[in-house]
Amino acid sequence: MKADRDHPAAQLAAIVESSDDAIVGKDLDGYVTSWNAAAERMFGYTAGEIVGKHITTIIPVDRQAEEDYVLGRIRQGLLTEHFETVRRRKDGTLIDISLTVSPIRSATGEIIGASKIARDITEQKTLRRAAAEASRAKDEFLATLSHELRTPLNTLLGYTQMLRTGTLDAESTRRALDAMARNGQALADLVDDVFDASRIITGKMQLRLRPMMIRPVLEEAVETIRPAILAKSIELELATEEDLVVNGDPDRMRQIFWNLLSNAVKFTQAGKIALRAWHEDVKVRIEVKDTGVGISPEALPRVFERFWQADATHTRGHGGLGLGLALVRYFVELQGGRIRAHSEGIGRGACFDIELPAAHPR
């Protein structure tokens, strides 16, 4: 018995049967002659079901020309290595595989068939796609960051040069200084958002929670954004209960509502923005609703992703790095709350609904 186990053919059969890769033998007409246990696991057919059937049983219709190509190479004695393709399992699902196909020769050297080794590369393909998407997102972010920094920088540099010449009158100088202040603040806000995102990613963001009234924070956010509201003739409704108290970080709470209101103003050319807050059982609910451009059903699930924008091109009508809503969600969740986005579609406005634990539940 030991001699049988030590025989090279027996050793080879044991290796084939124990392999994690599917190993399949076929003749020169494409009919399956052998099928190991890994092939059964990978494709769902037992050896009894598939041996004697044509290999196209597991090849999708749109890829069956590949078999003619591979068999043509085999007949020429050529090896096909690491050929990435797709095959169909018994249940009809598709699987990404890498194929290596070698000629099988008789004792006299005649090519009598082919040996296929198939490896499941589903995970590798998924990782590749994720890496490619991450690389693309990084490139888009850097391009967007460059674009967003350049605009206020050009304004600052332009007005600085004009002030240096001393040719501006008093009123023009005042307007130039106002513009420089606005653009300087825009640059500071961009840098702050990037630093906040970096601290979140590295786990260094810390909040200082304490009982705080919500209404003063909302009123402050409204006053901060009021010039932009007036400039676009947008109607603003503020309706809040007086005694809304949550455990929150005042600075981050201001950032949450300033971001949401800024976002609403940015995407509302005319119409109305409503900011409402009220008690609901053990929670405080805050709603920012606008009548602006709305959000498409495809974009809605992604609005809180970092660096994501529905229109990421440099010709888009609205600026930004795609960080504001991501930071809002993170700060809300870090304070024990939840935020949801709603929209009935393009042109139908948007609503951001926040729930925070009430410090004094009713």
| Cβ atoms within 10 Å, residue 211 | 10
pLDDT of 216 above 70:
yes
User: pLDDT per residue over 220-260, tens digit each?
Assistant: 988 888 888 888 889 999 999 988 999 998 988 988 998 89
Q: Which CATH number fits domain 207-362: 3.40.830.10, 3.30.565.10, 3.40.50.150, 1.20.140.10?
A: 3.30.565.10
d(CA 300, CA 308): 11
pLDDT at 43 (0 to 100)? 96
pLDDT at 10 (0 to 100)? 58
- Where are the domains positioned within the chain? 2-120, 123-205, 207-362
One DSSP character per residue, 126-186 reads HHHHHHHHHHHHHHHHHHHHHHHHHHHHHHHHHHHHHHHHT---HHHHHHHHHHHHHHHHH
pLDDT of 264 above 80:
yes
pLDDT tier at 143 (50, 70, 90 boundaries)?
A: confident
* Across 93-107, average pLDDT: 94
d(CA 198, CA 296): 29
pLDDT at 231 (0 to 100)? 84
Closest CA to 86 of 66, 69, 113: 66
d(CA 312, CA 305): 13
* Across 175-188, average pLDDT: 85
pLDDT tier at 333 (50, 70, 90 boundaries)?
A: very high
Q: Residue 9 is inside which H or E element, if any?
A: helix 8-18
272, 237 contact by CB (below 8 A): yes
pLDDT at 13 (0 to 100)? 64
pLDDT at 140 (0 to 100)? 72
pLDDT of 316 above 90:
no
* Across 85-96, average pLDDT: 95
d(CA 229, CA 264): 10
pLDDT at 202 (0 to 100)? 74
CATH fold group of domain 123-205: Helix Hairpins (1.10.287)
User: pLDDT per residue over 3-61, tens digit each?
Assistant: 455 555 556 566 666 688 999 999 999 999 999 999 999 999 999 999 999 999 999 99
pLDDT tier at 213 (50, 70, 90 boundaries)?
A: very high
Closest CA to 119 of 210, 39, 215, 185: 39
d(CA 194, CA 143): 14
d(CA 320, CA 309): 9
> What's domain 2-120's superfamily in CATH?
PAS domain (3.30.450.20)
* Across 67-87, average pLDDT: 92
pLDDT at 112 (0 to 100)? 94
pLDDT at 310 (0 to 100)? 57
**Which of 30-34, 155-159, 168-172, 269-273 reaches the highest mean pLDDT?**
30-34
d(CA 103, CA 265): 68
Percentage with pLDDT > 70 across the chain:
89
Closest CA to 102 of 133, 130, 74, 75: 74
* Across 79-107, average pLDDT: 93
pLDDT at 37 (0 to 100)? 92
pLDDT at 135 (0 to 100)? 83
* Across 282-310, average pLDDT: 88
Is residue 326 classed as helix, strand or coil in its secondary structure? Answer: helix
| Cβ atoms within 10 Å, residue 198 | 11
pLDDT at 145 (0 to 100)? 73
pTM: 0.55
